Structures are given as C-alpha cells and as structure tokens.
C-alpha cells in the first residue's frame, strides 16, 4: 500500500475516533455530569461550547473521509463505495444543519434563556443522533473497503 494512502487512512481513523468517540463519551457521560453539577441553563452554556468544537472536529474529519473516498474510489467494490459516499453525504448534510441549528440555539440562549430553546434543542438532538448512527455505520463499510484485498 502506498505511504500516502496509508497516512490518509490513519488520519481518517484517528479523526473518526476523536469525533465519534468524543461525541459518544460526551453524550453518555459528560452531559449527565454537567447537568447534575450545574443545572440546565449553566449546563447549556458549557455544552454550547463543547458542541461547537465537536462540530469543528466533524468538519475536519469529514474532509479527510471525503479524501479517503476519492483515493479509494477505483479500488473498492461498488456497493461499499456507494455506501461510504452515501453515509458521508448524510453525515455532511447533517453537520451543515447542526451548524445552522447551533446558531439558532446560541441566539435563544443569549436572548431568551430557555424560552423556546427546547424545541430547537430537540431537533438538534435528533439530528445529532441520526448523524451518530450514520457515522457508526461507517465501521462495517470501512472494514469491507479495507479488507485483505484492498
């Protein structure tokens, strides 16, 4: 395997681990601890900054994964290639949406406190969950793509 391809795959896996693993840990542990320690409004101000950074990490991660899809486009079975591109497209579209919704949530927190916040936050949580699931589906696709014959 050429060094460049190996390096890009390694960066893709590391960035994926930071982004998706970070989001998983954040959702499973950090949110609960922050809400327990600080209450809803203050927790919202803390998690507002964390999710902003998670989304930025997501941008960097997706850029690397799109590079992987481009580099591997001729070496992979058609189904796996389409699955990878489809999942990346879903994740990218959802990340763009999350950036927009995050701005709306920021404005609500700054000007209205929690009034009207929860409706937008529910949409944000649902979109994040769908994106997380799509990102988890990348695991079997990548295992197929990068199997022994690749």
Q: pLDDT tens track of the chain, all 150 residues? A: 689 999 999 999 999 999 999 999 999 999 889 888 887 777 777 888 899 999 999 999 999 999 999 998 887 778 888 999 999 999 999 999 999 999 988 888 777 666 677 788 899 999 999 999 999 999 999 988 887 765
Structure confidence at residue 75 (pLDDT): 78
Model confidence, pTM:
0.88
Cα separations in angstroms, 8 against 23, 34, 60, 66, 86: 22, 35, 13, 10, 20
User: Which runs of consecutive H residues, i.e. helices, occur in the chain?
Assistant: 3-16, 22-25, 31-38, 40-71, 78-112, 117-145
For residue 38, the model assigns a pLDDT of 85
**Block residue for tokens 């949110």:** 31
pLDDT at residue 1 in the model: 67
Contact 105, 50 (CB under 8 A): no
């Amino acid at each position: 395997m050429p060094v460049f391809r190996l390096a890009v795959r390694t960066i893709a896996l590391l960035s994926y681990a930071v982004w998706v693993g970070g989001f998983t840990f954040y959702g499973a542990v950090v949110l609960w601890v922050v809400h327990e320690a600080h209450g809803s409004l203050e927790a919202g101000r803390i998690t507002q900054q964390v999710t902003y950074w998670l989304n930025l990490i997501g941008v960097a991660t997706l850029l690397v994964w799109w590079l992987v899809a481009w580099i591997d486009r001729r070496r992979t079975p058609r189904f796996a290639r389409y699955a990878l591109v489809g999942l990346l497209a879903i994740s990218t579209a959802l990340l763009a949406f999350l950036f927009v919704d995050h701005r709306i949530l920021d404005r609500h927190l700054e000007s209205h406190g929690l009034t009207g916040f929860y409706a937008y936050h529910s949409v944000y949580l649902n979109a994040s969950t769908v994106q997380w699931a799509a990102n988890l589906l990348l695991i079997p696709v990548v295992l197929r793509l990068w199997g022994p014959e690749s």
